[in-house]
């Protein structure tokens, strides 16, 4: 759940804490410059009450809450201004209008996904992948499809990725996974039951977890050693399709692969070329653009 959503859910809070939550929501666009004294004065509470409120919301203190509130507000105010991620289509749209809207979603998703990445998080994820004897992939439905694409890419440069794909296979994964491996767990919501069960199993066994999930707090993110954040614009069900979440998953996994590849660029390029030339010896094209030189 996003902090902005949590501020709207004030059941069980004291009157003072509800006043602080409401005031923060109303002034979220100025979150970067708010102080405990300012909030306390405006809500007829005290700076100590503001700090306690931040801790009640799961943060170490007000500074952490303010930082997250600023981050979420900036994120939600940027990108996706001209197209709705959940309902991009309108009755009577021509085929080319639909095509333009889907393309616009893709452009917005790419920009949005990149804005959620940072060097330190990517480096930590790639470090876990490099150290791992094998990468255990946990995902279901569309995230699994994109995970299998990642698995194929990694296999061609000699890195084993074990996908847990069948019901009951978790029992075998539990026996095979060790702290010398790492787990790549993909779930947009971070609450998918089967995926979360696997993540908990990896966590119990001391297997480092790379989570690919939505912004905000969720059970998967809490289990992860490092979390990569997906474009977070879609509702779970009431949407035309998972255009943005699915593309964001693919972009994130492609970025992980590319960052891993770049650490040993010449070695992996030579390996991939050799494997492809032997596996696809008759592949050719009349196009100069496609033809290998």
pLDDT higher for 9 or 20?
20
Taken in order 56, 57, 60, 65, is the CA torsion positive or negative? negative
Phi, psi values for residue 172, rounded to 5°: -75, -40
Task: Provide the residue ranges of all domains of the chain, joining segments of one domain with +.
Answer: 3-77, 115-278
pLDDT for 280: 63
The CA distance from 156 to 267, in Å, is: 12
**Beta carbons of 244 and 232 less than 8 angstroms apart:** no
pLDDT higher for 228 or 287?
228
Decide which of 3.90.25.10, 3.90.1140.10, 3.40.50.2300, 1.10.10.10 is the CATH code for 3-77: 1.10.10.10
Cα 274–Cα 154–Cα 283 angle in degrees, nearest 5: 40
**Beta carbons of 153 and 146 less than 8 angstroms apart:** no
pLDDT for 89: 81
**Facing residues of 138 across strands?**
164, 185
What is Dmax (Cα atoms) for the chain? Answer: 77
CATH T-level assignment (fold) for domain 115-278: Rossmann fold (3.40.50)
For 75-111, how does the pLDDT look when each residue is reduced to its tens digit (9 = 90+)? 877 777 777 888 888 888 888 888 988 898 899 899 9
The CA distance from 18 to 109, in Å, is: 34
Name the helix (H) or strand (E) containing 210: strand 209-213
**To the nearest whole percent, how much of the chain has pLDDT over 70?**
90
**Beta carbons of 146 and 255 less than 8 angstroms apart:** no
For 202-229, how does the pLDDT look when each residue is reduced to its tens digit (9 = 90+)? 999 999 999 999 988 899 999 999 999 9
176 DSSP assignment: H
């Amino acid at each position: 759940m996003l902090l902005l959503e949590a501020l709207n859910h004030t059941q069980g809070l004291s009157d003072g804490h509800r006043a602080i939550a409401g005031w923060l929501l109303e002034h979220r666009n100025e979150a970067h410059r708010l102080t405990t004294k300012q909030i306390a004065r405006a809500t007829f509470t005290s700076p100590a009450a503001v700090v306690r409120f931040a801790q009640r919301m799961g943060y170490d203190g007000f500074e952490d809450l303010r930082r997250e509130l600023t981050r979420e507000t900036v994120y939600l105010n940027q990108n996706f201004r001209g197209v709705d991620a959940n309902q991009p289509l309108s009755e009577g749209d021509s085929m080319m209008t639909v095509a333009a809207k889907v393309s616009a979603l893709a452009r917005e998703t790419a920009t949005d996904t990149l804005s959620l990445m940072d060097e330190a998080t990517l480096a930590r994820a790639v470090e876990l992948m490099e150290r791992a004897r094998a990468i255990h992939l946990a995902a279901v439905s569309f995230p699994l499809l994109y995970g299998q694409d990642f698995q194929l890419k990694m296999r061609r440069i000699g890195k084993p990725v074990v996908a847990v794909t069948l019901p009951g296979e978790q029992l075998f994964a539990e026996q095979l996974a060790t702290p010398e491996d790492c787990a790549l767990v993909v779930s947009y919501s971070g609450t998918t039951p089967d995926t979360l069960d696997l993540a908990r199993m990896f966590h119990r066994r001391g297997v480092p977890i790379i989570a690919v999930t939505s912004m905000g707090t969720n059970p998967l993110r809490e289990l992860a050693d490092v979390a990569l954040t997906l474009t977070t614009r879609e509702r779970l069900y009431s949407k035309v399709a998972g255009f943005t979440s699915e593309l964001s998953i693919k972009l994130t996994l492609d970025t992980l692969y590319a960052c891993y590849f770049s650490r040993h660029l010449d070695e992996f390029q030579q390996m991939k070329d050799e494997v492809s030339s032997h596996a696809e010896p008759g592949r050719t094209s009349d196009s100069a653009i496609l033809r290998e030189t």
